[in-house]
Structure 1
Amino acid sequence: MKRTTAIVCLSSLLITAGCSDSKSGGGKSGNDEQKASGAIIKQFADAWVAAWAPDGKPDAAGALTDNPTVFAKRLDDTDTALVASTVTVAPQGDPKCSDANNCTQELAVEAQLRGIGAMKWTSTATAVKTGDAWKIKASGDTIYPGLGDNNYLKRVRALPARASILDRNGVALTANRPVVIVGVASGAKATAATYAAFTKYLDVDGAKLAARAKAAPAGQFVDAITIRAEEWEALRPTMGKLPGVLTMGGTQSLPPTATFAKSLIGTMKTATADTLKNAGTTASAQDQVGTTGLQYAFQQQLAGTPGGTVTLRDGKTKLSIKTVFSQKGTAGKPVKTTLDTAMQKSAEAALATSKLPASLVAVQASTGQILAAANGPTPASYNRAFQGRYAPGSTFKIVTSAALIGSGETGATALPCTNTINVFGKTFKNYDGLAAYGAGTMQKAFNESCNTAFISQHARLPKDGMTKAAAMFGIGRDLNLSINAYGGQVPLPKDDVAEAASMIGQGTVTASPLAISLVAATVDHGTAMKPVLVPGKDAAGAAASPLPAATVAALRTFMRTTVTSGTASVLAGNGAVAAKTGTAELVSGGKVITNAWMAGYRGDVAFAVIVEGGESGSHTAGPILKTFLSSFK
């Protein structure tokens, strides 16, 4: 095993015996021999521990024996065979001396076999005195009884089948499916065309792969990527005949398709330093482990614990003499989620109709349970639906309306809609071609999404008015989900301009699609609920006190009439849908671009969709939601 240098300080490699003419093990002479042999055995035990520690070397332990080079190699080879991460070696009792030159002492050994667990055994160290110096007899039996000069230990590790991630009905979202590990043989066989093909067809850095192959021992398989078996079959005619390309078959826990719920379920890859740490002490650097999503969050539960055996083998015949260690693995336990398979498929199909990056989240309003969360139009490991931080635009007028109703206004309160409004030198305008219509009500301003009408009321709210109103909808709190999710923020405004911007979901106000779906759910249910993806793991229940009944009634009317006679009319004809559109402006690369939003509910299902770079909520986000809602009742 290749290791970096570890320094073991030994006060002396020579332990001298006490002066005595006696050859017996009794009396003062016997005590001296016990002390001297016990000291060298204790030094040896400590040196063994250091040798099998991470980055340890066997040289110091070997130096304490009567054949340093041979023993150091035997100790190192055994460490390599067992894949021991650490070891404890404890001398038991006092040495037993047969004469003045030979003493033995039992060693209680416990090695942590990486990726399996603890293996315990007892061996015997023999201390022999040559001249004035004590040394440890360089026998394989000192390491493990029966090793002798030629035998060796062989370990085999057995991984249990990975457990499945389940939907709310117990349907498996993942299963162990056939995969192909694609790589190259080290050496010069692979050509520039080979590495270029890895980059072109598999999105693998060909230059880095070439460097790894060059550094690897001759003839070694250098893995590049693990893909589904059907994906390799499609690539085989192109890549299978290229010089140096090698493949290995295997299985991996995967969803039914490469795109299904990818950002939620997550991905699995060969362990890295970070993912190996997350996988726990029974994982191995060669294991396929969860790297993102639920596969990462529940890696240890899904993987279970591996089993393994260690056999003592004949050094000449290579045949097993006996099994000296056996440990059964434990199967992983499934992770049940709140996802609805059919609804997840519908969400992904709806997003596939968009050419722009988009996300859609659907939740059960009465419980906060997440039914679907999709990112499209192509799969992405980054879960925008949960982690995206966007200005919510006019969908946030749901919160603004609640704040104004709390201040004493009603749906019938007169709110004039002008083309522009100036707040301390900052001019705000309407969006999506909305022309001023003069006198109107709060309900009409909501239905038509008039920015200036809502901003005109900013003076009615206290400085913390929008922050407190947002909290009633669960915005601004840590969501504490099993996987990373952003709950939004509504900071206290620094001035009137910032407060005005927050009333139309701009400025420093940000939220994820998940957070906005929960805003819609709060109107539907009447109380903000904590989101739940994994029952029993994610905290359930109310996230805030119930909204006042008058506020709930008004908001439900606002959102329903926005569908029947307002900006969300694209959803009309899909049942009793209630919704709010939104368009948020932001500056990117020196240009003003827009993100399109729509949020709402039908029955006990609340939802939100965002389209990055979309024209408007009604024109861009609306059709996606229409497709989604038409797929289920």
Structure 2
Amino acid sequence: MGKIQKLSLGLVGLLLGASLVACDDGRTGAQDAARTLASAVAALDVGAVPFDGKDSGAANEQLRAAFKGLDPLKPAVRSGELKLDSGTATVPLDYSWKVGAAEWKYTVTAQLKKSGDKWLTVWSPGLLVPGLADTEVLGTASEAPQRADILGAADAKLVTYRPVVHVGIDKPRLGSADPAAAAAELAQLVGADPAAYTQQVQAAGAEAFVTAITLRQDGRTVTDEQIAAVPGARAIADSLPLAPSRTFARALLGSVAEASAEQIEKSGGALKAGDSTGTGGLQQQYDAQLRGTDGIQVFAQTAGLTAEQRQAQPNGGRRILFQEPMKAGTPLKTTLDPKLQQLAEDILAKVGPASAIVALRPSSGAVLAAASGPGSNGYDTAMLGQYAPGSIFKIVDSLAMFRTGMTPDSKVDCPATLTVDGRAFKNAEGYPATSLGSVALRDAFAHSCNTAFINAREQISQAQLESAATSLGVAVEAPSLGAAAFLGSVPSEAAGTEHAASMIGQGKVLMSPLAAAIMAGSVAKGGPVAPVLVMNPNAAPAGSPAPSAGATAEPSTSAPAPAKSAGPPVTAAEAASLADMMRAVVTSGHAGFLASVPGAPVGAKTGTAEFGKDNPPKTHAWIVAVHGDLAVAVFVEDGGLGATTSGPLLKEFLTAAG
């Protein structure tokens, strides 16, 4: 390159640089100042922002005072396209607030002035909210809708608002009475902890009403006269979303209570202090659908006015800036039959260990009752329990055996004892000697011959067992159930004694009472039952997330996963053969006591499964039955034999269910 060409390029570079400098009219500095302002306002701290006409500290105090009523909310603020005019500029600030479930958006215009080499923001409270006056601050008001009902079959109201009374000490009514003595006396009357309640009353403010207990109005035994006899005590009438009784389907339905600090934190702004929310069961799973969304207002009002001064002004002195109407929740429709649910709970009320009764309608899959007994201590044993099913699993074994060419009349070998890899297996105590040796599969099933089914382990692989279980609707997911449940687990691989144990429903085979009812129901239906409990799981209000209709939650992180794929559905012919053998359990086997149940013939299968390390071991007691278009499973965790423990409970249920 020649010297002349290099000189020309250098001149061009100098001219271009001079041109760029000449075009820098301060826009870059103004844009930086606008972005800094937006970030500072979003952080609710403009103490470092230089202002024109206002001390930065004073501006910061005014900002914080204006927005204090929205705490802990903070806005997102973004600066828009800047317009420059000599030494002044204007820039839009776009605000976005998350207010409950709603979004409040608005735009204000900020003015900037150049002072030397700095850009100053012209202060105005209108920078914060359009038209905000110097004397105004912001506040919010909300209105919560009533919680929607949980409905049962034929829209029966399972959970609805029922009258209650809050019983407590109203401290302004105490007069000269001793608060501690009054608190202790009231606690004694209503069954509260006297020491804890006395401490609550003493710690509360002079104007407080301190609740000792909330009682259902219906059936309460503590009278208004008894309450009024305690100094400062009173009963305040209210209504709360409640089931028919304190225990009715509690583990399944859950409850409603004031939101905890943890629930509020996890809600992402949907809950605030004082809100009610679902805890456990369907109330928690479908909280957004049932709760609806609060109506909310953001308003500006003159700071420092007394309550009387506000009341004297139109609209209480409030200027509405934003409002979102209240949206009622949507009732949750379930298939539960309140009469059958209550019947199941009444029957289990006398059972000490954890227990469950599940009833469903095979033709539709509708879950009619899912009761967990008092021994379950609030756990949903019916839906979430994970237990070895014992001999009720021989329904699965039998289906797998049919698929190798056997029938109910095929002969099987039923020895008194059997040893597999050094482990001895035997039949239950009292097994009839007349059903030992070479017997029909139907007879081995009716009397529950363990050794006959273990003997089939060479012909039936573990994978075939898993496939047969899934063919009967268990050990799979339940996309139409709409509730947390465990539908069973059958390992696809097992060898030796573990495979032998699987043949009698032990080893690593697990079922819930719900899964057991599904298995029996699939026999009655002649095809796999797809259980349904929640009928409208996606009917959440707009803007509220609804749980998936297919949510099949495990009760713990250790819950086994369902099978990766389901086997071929049980056929009508296969189900008829299984029904034939379940009927034999009643006509010639363990469950003869069910022969007197009125109505359609009952088919059943009993089951006893050992657990724990005691000697002799404790046992789970199971029985499943089909009775017309009804399938029922009864379970007692520490219950001896299925026929003698769970059997009478089943008979009582079937007889009363009609």
Q: TM-score, normalised by structure 1?
A: 0.80
Q: Per the alignment, in what secondary structure is the counterpart of residue 340 of structure 2?
A: helix
Instruction: Show the counterpart of 2:443.
Output: 444
Q: CA deviation at 1:338?
A: 1.7
**What is the alpha-carbon distance in structure 1 between the residues aligned to residue 463 and residue 350 of structure 2?**
40
Counterpart check, 1:555 vs 2:567: no
Instruction: Show the counterpart of 1:570.
Output: 593
**What is the alpha-carbon distance in structure 1 between the residues aligned to residue 222 and residue 48 of structure 2?**
52
Q: CA deviation at 1:242?
A: 10
Q: Which runs of 5+ in 2 are unaligned?
A: 1-21, 172-178, 311-315, 538-548, 552-564
Candidates 264, 276, 280, aligned match of 1:292? 280
Q: CA deviation at 1:351?
A: 1.4
Q: Per the alignment, in what secondary structure is the counterpart of residue 631 of structure 1?
A: helix
Instruction: Show the counterpart of 2:634.
Output: 609
Q: CA deviation at 1:601?
A: 0.9
User: What is the RMSD of the two structures over their aligned residues, measured on CA atoms?
Assistant: 4.2
Counterpart check, 1:263 vs 2:236: no
Cα pair 1:279 1:300 within 8 Å, conserved: no
Counterpart check, 1:40 vs 2:28: no
Cα pair 2:47 2:59 within 8 Å, conserved: no
Cα pair 1:527 1:544 within 8 Å, conserved: no
Instruction: Show the counterpart of 1:168.
Output: 153
Corresponding letter in the other structure for 2:94: A
Cα pair 2:66 2:136 within 8 Å, conserved: no
Counterpart check, 1:465 vs 2:464: yes
- Residues 260-316 of structure 1, C-alpha deviations (whole Å, 9 max, x = no match): 121221222333476457756543354211222211222222222221222321223
Instruction: Show the counterpart of 2:133.
Output: 148
Q: CA deviation at 1:555?
A: 1.5
Distance change >3 Å, CA 620–CA 43, structure 1 → 2: same
Distance change >3 Å, CA 271–CA 157, structure 1 → 2: same
**What is the alpha-carbon distance in structure 1 between the residues aligned to residue 500 and residue 83 of structure 2?**
84
Q: Per the alignment, in what secondary structure is the counterpart of residue 630 of structure 1?
A: helix
- Residues 312-355 of structure 1, C-alpha deviations (whole Å, 9 max, x = no match): 21223444142222221222112211222222122212212323
Aligned length: 590
Instruction: Show the counterpart of 2:483.
Output: 483
Cα pair 1:362 1:372 within 8 Å, conserved: yes
Counterpart check, 1:352 vs 2:377: no
**What is the alpha-carbon distance in structure 2 between the residues aligned to residue 570 and residue 203 of structure 1?**
48
**What is the alpha-carbon distance in structure 2 between the residues aligned to residue 514 and residue 91 of structure 1?**
58
Q: CA deviation at 1:460?
A: 2.5
- Residues 558-594 of structure 1, C-alpha deviations (whole Å, 9 max, x = no match): 1112123321122222131111111111015787211
Cα pair 1:259 1:378 within 8 Å, conserved: no
Corresponding letter in the other structure for 2:142: R
Distance change >3 Å, CA 227–CA 29, structure 1 → 2: farther
Q: CA deviation at 1:94?
A: 3.5
Instruction: Show the counterpart of 1:433.
Output: 430
- Residues 502-542 of structure 1, C-alpha deviations (whole Å, 9 max, x = no match): 111111111111111111011111111221112355469x9
Q: CA deviation at 1:458?
A: 2.3
Distance change >3 Å, CA 154–CA 518, structure 1 → 2: same
The residue correspondences of 1:323-472 to structure 2 (distance < 5 A) are 323-377=320-374, 380-437=377-434, 438-439=436-437, 440-472=439-471
**What is the alpha-carbon distance in structure 2 between the residues aligned to residue 337 and residue 362 of structure 1?**
14
Q: Per the alignment, in what secondary structure is the counterpart of residue 39 of structure 2?
A: helix
Counterpart check, 1:82 vs 2:70: yes
Corresponding letter in the other structure for 1:531: P
- Residues 9-48 of structure 1, C-alpha deviations (whole Å, 9 max, x = no match): xxxxxxxxxxxxxxxxxxx99954x765554343111111
Q: Per the alignment, in what secondary structure is the counterpart of residue 344 of structure 2?
A: helix
Q: CA deviation at 1:178?
A: 4.6
**What is the alpha-carbon distance in structure 2 between the residues aligned to residue 232 and residue 628 of structure 1?**
27
Q: CA deviation at 1:472?
A: 1.5
Corresponding letter in the other structure for 2:471: M
**What is the alpha-carbon distance in structure 2 between the residues aligned to residue 580 and residue 568 of structure 1?**
8
Candidates 589, 602, 605, aligned match of 1:580? 605
Cα pair 1:68 1:138 within 8 Å, conserved: no
- Structure 1 range deviating more: 521-530 or 69-78: 69-78
Corresponding letter in the other structure for 1:149: D
Instruction: Show the counterpart of 1:499.
Output: 499
The residue correspondences of 1:245-324 to structure 2 (distance < 5 A) are 251-272=239-260, 275-276=263-264, 281-315=269-303, 316=305, 317-318=309-310, 319-324=316-321
The residue correspondences of 1:78-227 to structure 2 (distance < 5 A) are 78-83=66-71, 85-94=73-82, 105-113=91-99, 115-127=100-112, 134-178=119-163, 227=214
**What is the alpha-carbon distance in structure 2 between the residues aligned to residue 489 and residue 223 of structure 1?**
49
**What is the alpha-carbon distance in structure 1 between the residues aligned to residue 116 and residue 237 of structure 2?**
60
Distance change >3 Å, CA 416–CA 487, structure 1 → 2: same
Distance change >3 Å, CA 369–CA 121, structure 1 → 2: same
Q: CA deviation at 1:496?
A: 2.5
Q: Which runs of 5+ in 1 are unaligned?
A: 1-27, 52-57
**What is the alpha-carbon distance in structure 2 between the residues aligned to residue 477 and residue 225 of structure 1?**
47
Distance change >3 Å, CA 378–CA 116, structure 1 → 2: same
Distance change >3 Å, CA 130–CA 381, structure 1 → 2: farther
Q: CA deviation at 1:89?
A: 2.4
Distance change >3 Å, CA 423–CA 277, structure 1 → 2: same
Instruction: Show the counterpart of 1:630.
Output: 655
Corresponding letter in the other structure for 2:344: A
Distance change >3 Å, CA 38–CA 626, structure 1 → 2: same
**What is the alpha-carbon distance in structure 1 between the residues aligned to residue 193 and residue 417 of structure 2?**
49
Q: Per the alignment, in what secondary structure is the counterpart of residue 412 of structure 1?
A: coil
Among the aligned pairs, what percent are the same residue? 33
Instruction: Show the counterpart of 1:20.
Output: none
Cα pair 1:267 1:381 within 8 Å, conserved: no
Distance change >3 Å, CA 37–CA 498, structure 1 → 2: closer
Cα pair 1:421 1:427 within 8 Å, conserved: yes
Distance change >3 Å, CA 241–CA 232, structure 1 → 2: farther
Q: CA deviation at 1:424?
A: 2.0
- Residues 99-118 of structure 1, C-alpha deviations (whole Å, 9 max, x = no match): 96x766543322221x2512
Q: Per the alignment, in what secondary structure is the counterpart of residue 268 of structure 1?
A: strand
Distance change >3 Å, CA 167–CA 279, structure 1 → 2: farther
